[in-house]
Structure 1
Amino acid sequence: MPDSSDARRKPVTERRPPARVPSSVRWTARFLALAGVVDLLTVLLPPARYRLSLLTEVVPLTGVQTARAATAAVGLLLIYLSVGLRRRTREAWFLAVALALVSAALNVLKGLDLDAAAISAGLLAALLGGRRDYCAAVERTSRWRALAALAGFGAAGLAVGVAEIAVRSRALEPGQSPRLWVVDAAEGMVGVTGPLRFTRPAVADAVSLTTGTMGLLAAAVALVLLLRPLGRRPGHTPDDVERIGRLLATHGRQDSLGYFALRPDKSVIWSPTGKAGVAYRVIWGVSLASGDPIGDPEAWPGAVEAWLADCRRNRWTPAVLGCGERAGLAYAKQGLNAIELGDEALVDVAEFALDGRSMRAVRQAVGRVERAGYTCHLARQRDLSPDMLAEARRACHQLRDGEVERGFSMALSRVGDPADGDCLLVLARDADGRLRGLLQFVPWGDDGLSLDVMRRDRAADNGLIEYMVVTVLRQAADLGVSRVSLNFAVLRSVFARGDRLGAGPVLRLWYHVLMLASRYWQLESLYRANAKYLPRWQPRYLCYPSMADLPRIGLAALRAEAFLTMPPIRLRPRTLPEVATAKQVATWG
Structure 2
Amino acid sequence: MERARPGRQEEGGRESLSHRCYLGAVWYLRAVAFVNFLAAVWVSFGNDLRRHNDDEFFTPYLLTAGFFSGSVSLFLAVTMRRRKRAAWILNLVLASLTLALASLALALPVYRQHAQNWFSVVLTALFVAALLGGRREFRAKGDRSNPKLAASVAAGGLLTVSLLATALVTATNTDPEAGHSTFLQRWHYGVLRMVSLAYDDIHFGSITTPSWANVLINIMGTALVLLVLYAAFRSRRVVDPMTGEDFGRLRVLLDRHGERDSLGYFALRRDKSVVWSPSRKSAVTYRVVSGVSLASGDPIGDPEAWPGAIDRWLSQAREHGWAPAVIGASEEGGTVYARHGLNALELGDEAIVDLAEFTLEGRAMRGVRQAYNRIERAGYTVRVSRHEDIPTGEMAELVRLADDWRDGDTERGFSMALGRLGDPEDGRCVMVLCHEGERPLGLLSFVPWGDDGLSLDLMRRDRDSENGLFEYMVLKLIQQADGFGVRQISLNFAMFRSVFERGSRLGAGPVLRLWRSLLSFFSRWWQIESLYRANAKYRPVWEPRYLLFEKSADLLRITVASARAEGFLEAPGPPKWLSRRT
TM-score over 0.5 for the alignment? yes
Deviations 1:54-86 (A, max 9, x none): 9879959xxxxxx99961122222222222112
1:264-285 CA-partner distances (Å, limit 9, x unpaired)? 1111111111111001000111
In structure 2, what is the equivalent of residue 197 of structure 1?
205
Which of the residues 430, 453, 458 maps onto 2:458? Answer: 453
Q: 1:399 to 1:24 in 2, by over 3 A?
A: farther
Tell me: CA distance 1:511–1:131, structure 2 relative to 1, closer, same or farther (3 Å). Answer: farther
* Partners of 1:119 and 1:165 in 2: CA distance: 36
- Give the Cα separation in 2 of the matches to 1:463 and 1:100: 70
1:502-560 superposed Cα distances (whole Å, 9 cap, x missing partner):
22333223222222221221111101110110000111111111111111111111111
1:566 equivalent in alignment to 2:574: no
Deviation at 1:348, TM superposition (A): 0.6
- What does residue 75 of structure 1 align with? 70
Offset from partner CA, 1:11-58 (integer Å, 9 cap, x none)? xxxx9547999465356535533442343233223426xx96998799
Aligned to 2:541: 536
Q: Mapping of 1:521-532 within 5 angstroms?
A: 521-532=526-537
User: Which residue of the partner structure matches residue 555 of structure 2?
Assistant: 550
| Separation of aligned partners in 2, 1:284 and 1:26 | 24
User: Structure 1 counterpart of 2:66, which letter?
Assistant: T
Aligned equivalents of 1:573, 1:236: Cα separation in 2: 26
Work out which of the residue numbers 139, 148, 153 in structure 1 matches 2:157.
Answer: 153
Change (3 A) 1:375 1:99: farther
Aligned residue number for residue 43 of structure 1:
40
TM-score with structure 2 length normalisation? 0.85
Q: Distance in 1 between matches of 2:48 and 2:26?
A: 35
**Structure 1 residues 343, 24: CA separation in 2 closer, same or farther (over 3 Å shift)?**
farther
Is residue 91 from structure 1 mapped to residue 86 from structure 2 by the alignment? yes
Residues of 2 paired with 1:284 and 1:440: CA distance? 30
Structure 2 distance, partners of 1:100, 1:212, is: 27
Give the one of 393, 397, 422 matched to 2:399. Answer: 393
Give the whole-Å Cα distance in 1 for the aligned partners of 2:159 and 2:488: 64
Secondary structure at the counterpart of residue 528 of structure 1: helix
Cα offset for 1:344?
0.6
Which one-letter code corresponds to 2:166 in the other structure?
A: V
Task: Please say if residues 39 and 75 of structure 1, whose CA atoms lie closer than 8 Å, have aligned partners that are also in contact.
Answer: yes
Question: Equivalent residue of 1:441, what SS?
Answer: strand
Deviation readout 1:291-350 (Å, 9 max, x if unpaired): 011111111111111111111221211111111111112111211111211111111111
Q: Could you say which residue in structure 2 is the equivalent of 1:272? A: 278
Structure 1 residues 500 and 122, CA gap change in structure 2 (3 angstroms): farther
Q: Do the aligned partners of residues 58 and 455 (structure 1) sit closer, same or farther apart at CA in structure 2, a change above 3 Å counting?
A: closer
Closer, same or farther: CA 557–256 of 1 in aligned 2, 3 Å: same
**Residue 444 of structure 1: which of 443, 449, 471 is its match?**
449
1:167: how far off?
4.3
Task: Point out where structure 1 has 5 or more consecutive residues left out of the alignment.
Answer: 1-14, 61-66, 106-113, 578-589
| AA matched with 1:513 | L
Contact 2:24/2:130 (8 A) holds in 1: no
Cα distance in 1 for residues equivalent to 2:427 and 2:317: 34
Matched, 1:479 2:484: yes
Does the CA contact (< 8 Å) of 2:190 and 2:217 recur in 1? yes
How is 1:40-439 mapped onto 2 (pairs within 5 angstroms)?
A: 40-47=37-44, 71-96=66-91, 98=94, 125-126=126-127, 128-134=129-135, 135-136=138-139, 138=142, 141-167=145-171, 171=175, 172-173=177-178, 175-191=180-196, 193-198=201-206, 201=208, 203-205=209-211, 207-233=213-239, 235-430=241-436, 432-439=437-444
TM norm structure 1: 0.84
Aligned to 1:29: 26
Instruction: Report the counterpart of residue 58 of structure 2 in structure 1.
Output: none
Q: Deviations over 1:403-424 (max 9, x none)?
A: 1111000000111000010010
Q: How far has the Cα of 1:574 moved from its partner?
A: 6.3
SS in 1 for 2:306: helix
Partner SS state of residue 350, structure 1: coil
> Contact 1:411 / 1:452 at 8 angstroms: preserved in 2?
yes
Secondary structure of the 2:44 match is coil
> Does the C-alpha gap of structure 1 residues 16 and 149 become closer, same or farther in structure 2, counting only changes over 3 Å?
closer
Q: Deviations over 1:392-437 (max 9, x none)?
A: 111110111111111000000111000010010111112x421111
CA gap 1:139/1:414 in 2 versus in 1, 3 angstroms: closer
Share of identical aligned residues, percent? Answer: 43
Query: 1:158 offset after TM fit, Å?
Result: 1.7
Q: Which runs of 5+ in 2 are unaligned?
A: 56-61, 103-114
Looking at structure 1, the residues matched to 75 and 6 of structure 2 have their Cα atoms a distance apart, in angstroms, of 31
> What amino acid sits opposite 1:292 in the alignment?
D
Secondary structure of 2:406's match? coil
Provide the C-alpha distance between the structure 2 equivalents of 1:455 and 1:54, rounded to a whole number of angstroms: 63
Cα pair 1:32 1:123 within 8 Å, conserved: no
SS of the aligned residue for 1:375 comes to: strand
RMSD: 3.4
Structure 1 residues 25 and 510, CA gap change in structure 2 (3 angstroms): farther
Task: Give CA deviations for 1:92-111 in whole Å, capped at 9, x if unaligned.
Answer: 23555658999xx9xxxxxx
- Hey, what's the Cα distance between the residues in 2 that align with 1:398 and 1:446? 32
1:380 & 1:479 partners in 2: Cα distance? Answer: 9
C-alpha distance in 1 between matches for 2:372 and 2:217: 68
Are the equivalent residues in 1 in contact too, given 2:32–2:63 (CA < 8 A)? no
Cα distance in 2 between the residues matched to 1:197 and 1:523: 63
